């Protein structure tokens, strides 16, 4: 059977998994408990609604013994610890908000003659990691611990895998679930045993919500544009290719949504933005994932100078909203997002950090300069990529505080309006923070004749072997021929912005499910297979 056929993917994977994985002793015991639960008439995965009315965090924050509140609590969560002492027990359950202690007494949850729920289910057949429901009331124990006294206990989901429970003793952490390979591949486990990880993703959601609020206040409209595109435009990148069977044509996963958003500006919208899933068939490292989230916004009758101020105010608002301060620590560097940010022309940055003046150099001179500076280059590179290679090698790492690198040469910016004071340059900026690009923005090129010539130059580079060069999008040129007003556009990587605002150093830590190599499955004979 070939893995990958539409009909049999699930069956094949299930067969392969079940046939090749050997269960541990603990996993076998849990499966035995699963069978015994069903034998005594308890469904381990009930379908009934469970009427949760409180969370651990809310009880811990709001309980008042004098008021006697939380006397009819219904809470659900995962069992994280148990201390069984005969006819009474203490435990901890964890829900989305945190952990809280529970007190389980045999005669409370089993008021009649049948003590099965306590003696058999709670003491013997439930395990750490099982999800249970507790109905009862909040109280303070004799040791001063706020707890939930169980009057009723319900099994809501049986866990068949053993959780890697983290233990702390004398300030030392034991059995930590810290291996990045395991954490990223099994994010669901990471979130259970390392609850602090959730905070990064809560902040990510706040970042996006703050941006939406900011754009909406500016009068911009959130829109959606195609993910499957006949021409992958809007950036220089290698696309993923697929095939549409009904139309019998190749299609590409979008590398950017820029050209569609600018079509909407042509159509009469004054400001549009989109949080887009983009895809680039390139390498993976600590700051790149082949699938990523990018926000792009286009505002009519604005330019790149206006956009710099717009971005400064936005980032300051995000930092204050997410962290309560405009200062964040990124990779050991304390960075302030308080405006204004430094403005640095790219050719000046190269002069300053590489010690050479590349303005006016032709392609051969740039190649010779790269060789002198020991910058690695490819034969397919044109002037734009050669300049970018020098800048990337010598300047980027020095840009720690937020810095707008401006006024890129025309060859580096095929979608950007020529600079009003120097036609060899463009009105473009990239925002760098801690040596990494965070945003890219232009005064958008709206001259259809110039745009077609730039596309044709990209086509020449593609014919030389540059597989990241842009395709010619004739429909976009046609849209420009109807007239696009002066417009400023911005693209910003949400994943990288989240890294900066949360102090993370790898993109995998801000993605719930980063791309990973296929998992190797251990077979019973000791061999492994993908």
The pLDDT tens digits for 457-472 are 999 988 888 888 888 9
pLDDT of 8 = 42
Backbone dihedral angles phi then psi of residue 477, each to the nearest 5 degrees: -60, -40
Q: What angle do CA 462, 361, 372 make, to 5 degrees?
A: 90
Confidence of residue 494 (pLDDT cuts 50, 70, 90): very high
The pLDDT tens digits for 341-356 are 999 999 999 999 999 9
Question: Is 206's pLDDT higher than 80?
Answer: yes
pLDDT of 169 = 66
pLDDT of 197 = 94
pLDDT of 331 = 85
Residues in Cβ contact with 206 at an 8 Å cutoff, skipping those fewer than 6 apart: 321, 322
Q: Which of 9-18, 179-188, 253-262 has the lowest mean pLDDT?
A: 9-18
Distance CA 390, CA 397 (A): 12
Contact 399, 432 (CB under 8 A): yes
Q: Which of 30-44, 138-152, 172-186, 231-245 has the lowest mean pLDDT?
A: 172-186
Average pLDDT over residues 266-273: 98
Question: Is 166's pLDDT higher than 90?
Answer: no
Question: For the chain, what is the mean pLDDT?
Answer: 92
Confidence of residue 144 (pLDDT cuts 50, 70, 90): very high
Question: Is 503's pLDDT higher than 60?
Answer: yes
For β-strands 487-493 and 291-300, DSSP reports them as antiparallel
286 to 283, 289, 493, 507, 514: CA distances (angstroms): 10, 8, 14, 6, 11
pLDDT of 15 = 47
Distance CA 359, CA 401 (A): 25
466 to 39, 303, 385, 463: CA distances (angstroms): 65, 30, 10, 7
Confidence of residue 173 (pLDDT cuts 50, 70, 90): low
Q: What percent of the chain has pLDDT over 90?
A: 81
The pLDDT tens digits for 383-422 are 999 999 999 999 999 999 999 999 999 989 889 999 999 9
Distance CA 406, CA 431 (A): 9
Counted residue by residue, the chain has a size of 530
Average pLDDT over residues 17-37: 86
């Amino acid at each position: 059977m070939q893995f990958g056929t539409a009909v049999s993917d699930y069956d094949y994977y299930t067969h392969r998994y079940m046939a090749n994985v050997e269960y541990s002793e603990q996993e076998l015991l849990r499966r035995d408990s699963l069978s015994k639960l069903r034998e005594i008439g308890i469904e381990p995965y009930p379908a009934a609604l469970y009427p949760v009315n409180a969370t651990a965090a809310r009880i811990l924050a709001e309980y008042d013994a004098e008021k006697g509140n939380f006397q009819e609590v219904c809470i659900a969560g995962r069992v994280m610890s148990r201390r069984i002492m005969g006819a009474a027990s203490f435990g901890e359950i964890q829900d989305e908000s945190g952990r809280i202690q529970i007190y389980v007494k045999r005669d409370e949850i089993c008021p009649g003659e049948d003590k099965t729920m306590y003696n058999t289910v709670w003491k013997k057949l439930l395990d750490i990691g099982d999800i249970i429901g507790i109905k009862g009331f909040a109280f303070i124990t004799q040791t001063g611990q706020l707890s939930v006294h169980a009057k009723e206990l319900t099994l809501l989901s049986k866990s068949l895998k053993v959780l890697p429970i983290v233990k702390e003793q004398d300030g030392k952490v034991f059995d930590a679930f810290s291996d990045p390979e395991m954490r990223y591949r099994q994010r669901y486990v990471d979130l259970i045993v390392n609850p602090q990880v959730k905070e990064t993703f809560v902040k990510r959601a706040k970042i996006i919500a703050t941006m939406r609020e900011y754009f909406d206040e500016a009068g911009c409209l959130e829109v959606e544009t195609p993910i499957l595109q006949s021409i992958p435009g809007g950036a220089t990148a290698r696309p993923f290719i697929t095939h549409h069977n009904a139309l019998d044509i190749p299609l590409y996963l979008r590398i950017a949504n820029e050209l569609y958003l600018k079509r909407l500006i042509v159509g009469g919208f004054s400001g549009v933005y989109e949080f887009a899933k983009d895809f680039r068939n390139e390498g993976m490292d600590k700051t790149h994932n082949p699938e990523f989230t990018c926000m792009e916004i286009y505002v009519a009758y604005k330019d790149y100078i206006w956009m710099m101020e717009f971005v400064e105010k936005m980032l300051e608002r995000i930092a204050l909203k997410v962290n309560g301060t405009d200062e964040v620590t990124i990779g050991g560097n304390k960075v302030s997002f308080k405006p204004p940010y430094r403005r640095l022309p790219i050719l000046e940055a190269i002069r300053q950090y590489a010690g050479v003046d590349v303005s006016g150099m032709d392609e051969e001179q740039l190649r010779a300069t790269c060789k002198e500076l020991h910058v690695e280059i490819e034969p397919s590179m044109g002037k734009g990529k050669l300049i970018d290679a020098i800048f990337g090698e010598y300047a980027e790492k020095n840009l720690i505080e937020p810095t707008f690198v401006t006024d890129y040469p025309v060859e580096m910016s095929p979608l950007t309006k020529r600079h009003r004071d120097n036609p060899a340059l463009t009105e473009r900026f990239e925002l760098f923070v801690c040596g990494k690009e965070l945003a890219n923005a232009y005064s958008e090129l709206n001259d259809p004749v110039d745009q077609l010539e730039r596309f044709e130059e990209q086509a020449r580079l593609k014919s030389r072997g540059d597989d990241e060069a842009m395709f010619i999008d004739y429909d976009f040129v046609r849209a420009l021929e109807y007239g696009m007003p002066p417009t400023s556009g911005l693209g910003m990587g949400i994943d990288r912005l989240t890294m900066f605002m949360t102090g993370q150093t790898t993109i995998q830590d801000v993605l719930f499910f980063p791309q990973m190599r296929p998992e190797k499955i251990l077979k019973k004979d000791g061999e492994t297979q993908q």
